[in-house]
Amino acid sequence: MALADFLPGAVPALTHVPASGHVQLGELSGINHEGGTVALEVSLSFEQHPQGAIVTLFAHDLTSRKKMESQRAALESQLRESQKMQAIGTMAGGIAHDFNNIISAILGNVELARGDIRADTPAAISLTEIDKAGRRARDLVRQILAFSRHEPPRRLALQLADVVLETVRLLKVTLPPQVQLLLDLDPHTPPILADATQIQQVLLNLCTNAIQAIGKSSGTVRLELRRCQVDHAPGTASHSPLTGESICLTVSDTGPGMSDVVLQRVFEPFFTTKPVGQGTGLGLSVVHGIMRTHQGSVQAVSTPGKGSSFTLFFPASPVALTVSPTTEETAMPAISEQAGSGQRVMYVDDDEALVFLVKRLLTRQGYAVTTHTDPRLALAAVRADPTHWHLVVTDFNMPGYSGIDLIRAIKAVRPELPVALASGYVTPEIERDALVAGANALIHKPNDVDELCGIVQKLLAKSDGDNSIG
């Protein structure tokens, strides 16, 4: 093979041959015996002899180095994506906390307004719609918080069909007009033990991928729920065996499908077929991970040109389960119109809208309410007259002085004084710290105002100063 055939980029250098010396040509593209391109680091050495000039060419194959550089660049890109996702999660958690307070004020004022008008008026219908929208916003905030905190799954008995319907309701808001969403749900599938928020995240990931796969063409996304019998671990997506009766949930689309090569790698972290900046490659790996934590598995099937389907396999529970709502609600005693009889209640929250709401709410219930937006002033009021107060309710997340700090300080002044902690997102860590500090109850914001009234009524009815989380 002539030099021009093997390394055409080096030929011009030969026309400027020095008397002697070494010339570094740098990186050039060479051509191998198969006609393919190979990266080479090239240098020329010139020597003059009586018999003539001798030119020596040195070519170092850069294939391995290029591969390593490519892998390093890919890892750096993955790290940047991971850091970006972490930052987004942190930011989303902070925003969700602020939304919690806003939604609490909306839902609470709706309840107060309902008490001021007749149920058969047009205004009452409008309040019902506001309440529905507020509850949807509340559930969405909970999902954002659960995602950003990466909490372990909290499994409850639930019907998968309910989770599917809730997910579909969220999807329809952004569903492209050319994509049709079809449901085929067996209403008689037994309940499973699962974390509703995580299963909804799985479905949102799968449905979003299906919608994006269809693109701008017309197509269909189908969700099918049924019982199935599994004799072995389906597919290669799960390493834990799953046998016997299972609950199968399939998400299929009429998109372009995937090749066998893509199908084999589809659950790998950071693997994506989307253009740079349009996908992190984390969606399906998250699906795989969540299914493993639920002792289930996921199977992907695809045919190029005919679409793809992802089937989630959940183990059926061997015992009868009592189905819980997909969003946690705490059972409270019935609230009377005038539950209080002048008991002195202090409410502490840095959000003025919530302070205004709770004061109106508890005053209407018959309590004498004092509010503070500064926890330090609240503590000073307790210290000034510890026996004056019958109950303190404090928010958890306040700048510079948390609700748990306030509880700890109040209990040091008067241990038997009932104190409740309110939080928009009660994690196991918050619950543990509240218990250690001496909290008598936890209030989930933004829940129905009945929960707040119920806890206040229950704590004030106690006379034994019980320090258990309720």
pLDDT of residue 406: 96
Q: What angle do CA 169, 173, 177 make, to 5 degrees?
A: 115
pLDDT of residue 253: 94
> Which residue, among 209, 306, 301, 289, has the nearest Cα to 264 in the 3D structure?
301
Is 346 a residue whose pLDDT tops 70?
yes
Q: At what angle do helices 122-149 and 196-214 cross, to 10 degrees?
A: 90
CATH number of 154-328: 3.30.565.10
pLDDT of residue 338: 66
Counted residue by residue, the chain has a size of 470
Helix, strand, coil shares of the chain, percent, nearest 5, are 45, 25, 35
Question: Which residues have CB under 8 Å from 241's CB, separation 6+?
Answer: 232, 233
Annotate 96-138 with DSSP letters as a single string: HHHHHHHHHHHHHHHHHHHTTS-TTSHHHHHHHHHHHHHHHHH
Stretch 379-407: mean pLDDT, rounded? 93
Residues 158 and 155: their CA atoms lie apart, in Å, by: 9
> Which residue, among 291, 255, 250, has the nearest Cα to 273 in the 3D structure?
255
Burial call 325-356: b when 16+ CB within 10 Å, e when fewer: ebeeeeebeebeeebbeebebbbbbbbeebbe
pLDDT of residue 337: 58
* Percent of the chain with pLDDT strictly greater than 70: 77
Global pTM value: 0.51
Tokens read off for 145: 């918080």
> Which range has highest mean pLDDT (284-288, 349-353, 450-454)?
349-353
pLDDT of residue 423: 84
pLDDT of residue 393: 95
pLDDT band at 321 (very low <50, low <70, confident <90, very high): very low
CATH number of 344-461: 3.40.50.2300
Q: Parse the chain into domains and list their residue ranges.
A: 3-61, 80-151, 154-328, 344-461
Is 56 a residue whose pLDDT tops 70?
yes
Q: What are the tens digits of pLDDT across the range 354-384?
A: 899 899 889 988 999 999 999 999 999 999 9
pLDDT of residue 362: 92
Is 420 a residue whose pLDDT tops 90?
yes
Is 326 a residue whose pLDDT tops 50?
no
Is 322 a residue whose pLDDT tops 50?
no
More confident residue, 102 or 280: 102
Annotate 163-220 with DSSP letters as a single string: HHHHHHHHHTTT--TTEEEEEEE-TTPPPEEE-HHHHHHHHHHHHHHHHHHHTTS-EE
pLDDT of residue 273: 60
pLDDT of residue 150: 53
Is 235 a residue whose pLDDT tops 80?
no
pLDDT band at 400 (very low <50, low <70, confident <90, very high): confident
pLDDT of residue 244: 64
Which amino acid makes up residue 202? V
More confident residue, 430 or 412: 412
